[in-house]
Amino acid sequence: MKKILILLVILVSSSQVFSQAAKDTSWKKGGFVNVNFTQVSLNQWAQGGENSLSLAGNANLFANYAKEKTTWDNSLELAYALLKSGATPFRKNDDRIDFTTKYGRLMKGKWYYSALVNLKSQITKGYKYPDDSTVVSKFLAPGYITIALGVNYKPVDYFEVFISPATGRYTIVTDQTLADFGAYGVEPATRDASGTMQKGTGKNVKAEFGAYLNMKFKKEIMQNVTLSTKLELFDNYTDKDKNNQTNIDVNWETGFTLKVNKLITATVATQLIYDHNIIRRTQFKEVIGVGLGYKF
């Protein structure tokens, strides 16, 4: 019930922003929706292999306000993909919600005093494949909320940098079983003298305070080819492990969109994540697709 209510809040607030944008010329709004479909069918194929089916979709919406000394930028990114290989059932291989709202007041030149709120999570449950019964993630497990105060530098329309020395970041794990095991860096459940876990005592929220940088670039670098990249860095001042205070969390997303014609597009998207509290290795994801796309 909680996840339905929170998702409704996101969708309602987003729809209000976009509907308001349609009525006021101070708003610039738009977006891109893309659906990719792939099928491989083999019959008596001597070289081997197996049938596969995949379906992936993503949406990027924005509504930005600029009038006199005030700016208000809003973006919503959604991604979801399913893959079926051979006799295995459909499995999720991409799932993302990323909502950002940022308010700014002109300070001087191209600099703005700014406040930013960001929410990251996913839509459905994730499993420890090939184990289809062990849940490792779900909506708001984890969820990441970032609240930051700082300055924003925007010299041109396609590039900007937001810098905050005062940022609160909250890791949310609403699933109590995951929280009890300390998933995603929250404090795990306590154990008695015999080492038995005291179920229900794991923390559902981890609060951090530190410095945050958000850099964005999006431009058509050649005809019908658009490059977009976003880099987020976070340094936690308050990490209990002093040795970990020098480890900077990284989230770097890059995408190329090639528009073949009005409906057909090719996309390449990558994401690199490093968070020492979750896994002490660099995580990397790449998605390549050709399908139907619509820009508005």
- The tens digit of pLDDT for each residue in 125-163 reads 999 988 888 999 999 999 999 999 999 999 999 999 999
**Residue 86: its pLDDT value, please?**
87
In the block, residue with structure tokens 């976003």:
230
pLDDT tens-digit series, residues 236-257 = 998 887 777 778 999 999 999 9
pTM of the predicted model, to two decimals?
Answer: 0.87
Beta strand spans in 24-158 (E) = 27-40, 52-67, 70-85, 91-108, 111-121, 126-127, 135-137, 143-156
- Cβ atoms within 10 Å, residue 39: 10
Calculate the alpha carbon distances from 139 to 4, 8, 89, 99, 276 in Å: 9, 13, 21, 14, 22
Burial of 167 (0-12, 13-18, 19+ CB in 10 A): buried
Statement: residue 4 has pLDDT above 50: no
pLDDT at 18: 54
My answer on whether omega of the bond before 130 falls inside 30° of 0, hence cis, is: yes
Residue 67 has pLDDT above 60, yes or no: yes
The per-residue pLDDT of the chain, averaged, comes to 90
pLDDT of residue 239: 85
CATH of 2-40+50-295, one of 2.60.120, 3.40.190, 2.40.230, 1.10.3470: 2.40.230
pLDDT exceeding 70 applies to what percent of the chain?
92
Rounded Cα distance between 152 and 115, Å, is 9
At 21, the pLDDT band (50, 70, 90 cuts) reads low
pLDDT of res. 231 = 98
pLDDT reported for residue 17: 54
Output 15 or 102, whichever has higher pLDDT: 102
Over range 256-263, report the average pLDDT: 92
Comparison of pLDDT for 5 and 243, the residue scoring more: 243
Quick one: residue 35, left, alpha or beta (phi over 0 = left, psi -120 to 50 = alpha)? beta
Q: What is the pLDDT of residues 204-231, one digit of tens each?
A: 999 999 999 999 999 999 999 999 999 9
**What residues does 76 pair with on adjacent strands?**
61, 99
Please report which confidence band the pLDDT of residue 15 belongs to, taking 50, 70 and 90 as the band edges: low
Spell out the residues 6+ positions from residue 88 whose beta carbon is closer than 8 angstroms to its own: 130
pLDDT at position 172? 97
- Does 14 have pLDDT greater than 80? no
Q: Kindly state the average pLDDT of the residues 76-80.
A: 96
**Residue 287 has what pLDDT?**
87
Question: Domain locations in the chain?
Answer: 2-40+50-295
- Pick the more confident residue, 234 or 288: 234
DSSP H helical ranges for 90-233: 176-180
Give the pLDDT score at 2: 47
- What single string gives the DSSP state of each residue in 22-56? HH-TTEEEEEEEEEEEEEE--SS-TT----EEEEE
Per-residue model confidence (pLDDT) at position 3? 45
